[in-house]
Amino acid sequence: MDPVFLKVLVGTTLLAATSSVVGAFSYLKGQSLVGDAIAHALLPGVVLAFILGGIRNSSFLILGALISGLLAHYGIGYIENKTKLKSDTAVSLVLSTFFGFGIMLLSYIQRTGQGQQAGLERFLLGKAAAITMQDIYIFSALALVLIIGVGLFYKGFQLMTFNEDFAHAIGLPMPLIRFTFTVLTVLAITIGIQTVGVVLMAALLITPSAAARVWTNSLPAMLALAASFAGVAAVMGTYISSVLPKMPTGPWVVLVLAFFGFSSLLFAPKRGWFSKQRRAKANQRKTIRENVLKLLFQQEEQRGLPTLLSIEEIQGIREMRLDRLTSTLKELKNRLLIIDHGGSYGLTELGRGEGRRVVRLHRLWELYLTERLGMAADHIHPQAETMEHVITPEIEELLVTELGNPEVDPHQSPIPYEED
């Protein structure tokens, strides 16, 4: 295997995977833009480190970037806390100031004739092919620090992300935890820009987490998925750039990550777009089925005997699209919930029980709205029309207990319980 390809592969994978783990907490905290600002703010630190040191030393440049990133992070916090500016304004101000200063310093170096020697353009746009064995050793050490740091402070980071007040209440040292998280975030961004540059670093930091989030509710699983997405994207991006001449690695890594991100948003089993569409259609069909059963049960209530209604009669009582009503009646018939007598439809015993349940839930919720929330009886029907389709048996039991086994709703209609 080509040693250059191997160096790029190892370095890029380390950078992508470790950056994505820290980026997951930033994403969950809603600080994605802060990561982007810090990535851009590293540039002046890198350039100043080269100017002061006079040579291109990876350790020295990373130290300069780390200091610059910390200054930017605390600068954003200071502006938010000491001024009336909002968070996005503070982020934009720090990003433009630091990045503009970095570009100015980079232009100065270019005019001195040291631009090629410096090789600092890799920090701007990324240049994974320039990774050396010394870089690999440094990246490996930094990646180990990141992993150990996240492991040691995992509980603190978790509470900082989801419930900082509780963390304070149980006595966790939140200033130390926030400082550690800030250092690790800046460190992750610092090593990540070696591959994709400051321009695309936000994608490397946030996209794996955004993709992983739609697949799981578990934080450990999300961290593992984010690292996996980033690592696989790094491998694929490195391979693509090696077989396509003069194609940079960083942008390909980001493009593969974008593919993972959009694919996750579309195809994830619970939160994906297609899954949501399927659930929405299933809920719509369920609502129409229950509305038809409720209508037939209410007609039986009013007439006091089993009732048969034609499609036209059903539409006369409740407006429904003919195609949806026809398909719903067919589905209810297949489920043995209704019977068809020559184009007129009535309830089976099974269907009567389902219709009774929907009517009961509707009237219980109306009673709850009037007695517990003080709503007027003539304003509660639309809310009950919605809630009758989502109340679970457990909630129904709580409602009955809370309301004291009521017999009638606010309109004095009987609440139909299950027949013995």
Q: Domain with 109 in it: what CATH number? A: 1.10.3470.10
Q: Are residues 140 and 200 in the same domain?
A: yes
pLDDT of the residue at 348: 96
Q: Is 416 left (phi over 0), alpha (psi -120 to 50) or beta?
A: beta
Q: Are residues 172 and 307 in the same domain?
A: no
Q: Are residues 276 and 263 in the same domain?
A: no
Q: Are residues 211 and 320 in the same domain?
A: no
Q: Are residues 59 and 139 in the same domain?
A: yes
Q: Are residues 257 and 115 in the same domain?
A: yes
The 10 Å Cβ neighbour count of residue 175 is: 8
Distance CA 114, CA 126 (A): 18
Residue 211, C-beta contacts closer than 8 angstroms, at least 6 positions apart: 225, 226, 229, 257, 260, 261, 263, 264, 265
pLDDT of the residue at 119: 59
Residue 54, C-beta contacts closer than 8 angstroms, at least 6 positions apart: none
Domain count, the chain: 2
Q: Are residues 325 and 190 in the same domain?
A: no
pLDDT of the residue at 341: 92
What end-to-end distance do the CA atoms of the chain give, in Å?
Answer: 77
Report pLDDT digits (tens) over 27-72.
888 877 888 888 888 888 888 888 887 666 667 777 888 888 889 8
Q: Is 347 left (phi over 0), alpha (psi -120 to 50) or beta?
A: beta
Enumerate the H helices of 244-272 as residue ranges.
Answer: 249-267
Q: What is the CATH number of the domain that holds 356?
A: 1.10.10.10
Q: Which amino acid is at 342?
A: G
Residues spanned by the domain of 22: 3-268
Sheet holding 344-347, edge to edge: 309-310, 344-347, 338-341
Strand partners, 345: 309, 340
Q: Kindly state the average pLDDT of the residues 87-103.
A: 88
Q: Which of 302, 296, 208, 272 is nearest to 19 (CA)?
A: 208
- Mean pLDDT, the chain, as a whole number? 86
pLDDT of the residue at 352: 95
Report pLDDT digits (tens) over 235-260.
888 888 888 766 777 788 889 999 99
pTM, two decimal places: 0.76
Contact assessment for residue 55 and residue 113, using Cβ atoms and an 8 Å cutoff:
no
Report pLDDT digits (tens) over 394-417.
999 999 999 999 999 999 999 999
Report pLDDT digits (tens) over 109-126.
777 766 555 556 666 666
Backbone angles phi, psi at 54, to 5 degrees: 80, -10
Distance CA 137, CA 141 (A): 6
Q: Are residues 260 and 277 in the same domain?
A: no
Q: Are residues 257 and 307 in the same domain?
A: no
On the question of pLDDT at 284 being above 60, the answer is yes
